[in-house]
Structure 1
């Protein structure tokens, strides 16, 4: 990356998560992988048939993303999305983390998932399932705060229980949280210990009104994907879920 951006590895892939300087402190874009040029052409045609404006042939952006080819477009709410094939792997350079983490569950499962707040759930579902072709995993009412519950729709396009969760919720940012899934439960415990000493505002009633930790939800298991995880607030204000063991 440059002085205004950084890219982070999770596996043999050249990068999985990018951070760039900006005013929004929010998710900037999400990328989804297809198998080959034909699959990319098919998705391009599918999007255009649905009336979506698709940008193709951006070789400069493809080089920046370190992929062979990509298309870029926006969902109905202006969220930038990209679909690509031919990402770069460095199999001869295995991930070695200074924290000693065993590794992350990626591969055919992708980088993780994120929870996305939208203004209109019907429009969102029509786009993500009807146009992009995501499949519904389940629907759950989620406590988004002490006095607010939203209905979450959990969708997948790969082997994960959900690749994206969508909720109609008046959140200050598009993204509520993103997930990183570690390979061992010990990795989760070690990450919890490291983050527990970092200051931040907590909302977990078990922790009280403390600012000595950025942990926002202590370790527990989700009812739908069975992930054992905790949540921590990032410096940007949205949250990180760090977990293990999802089905």
Structure 2
């Protein structure tokens, strides 16, 4: 890609994205510029990836063909106020904030803009992110593909309708937290039965990683894969029956639906 990408905000997600585009070779470091109010974050980005840095959001606005707003939702409007009169005419704005709709961001700019609303998740930090992508009506297919390639550099993507973005948040954006809780609970049970904790975490995490890979690579229904493990009268079906007794699936479903509801009301 022969364009300049600017990042406003250099927290964990911003750095994950910067690392993805640079490490993948999608962009040369000199074609990336990053702004943040905290110099320490910029120093990390500069030393790790060799990108250009600044503490002036306007400098990013003036030089970038694609701008990623990787700041918290509560400062979106103030950041946009700071840059909206300095962005290039055909700039593509990429948002990553929960609760900020395409209409919200367009309204903050106060003019027609090319925009893609996205929602990445924290596994982007290890190159295994999952991102939901929703372009607005002003952006071309070629420009959407450029944004898609950014997010593919640190994981997988799905293009979805904006009305499903809150569902995506509960399914993928927030779900790493549920998975971490599951791994922690598995490890606690193993420790209770005598397994050293460091080994328990490793075993539980690898089981989750391998199981997820089976779903993605075999294309088989999760229920079918579960049945393959559950031998008649065996240990696994005993555990599955106990999880069902205590409402495992119901708890997951209820938790995710509450997450979706909260996202819709932000």
Whose radius of gyration is greater, 1 or 2? 2
Higher helix residue share: 2
Task: Determine if the TM-score, normalized by the shorter chain, exceeds 0.5.
Answer: no
Calculate the TM-score normalised by the size of structure 2: 0.27
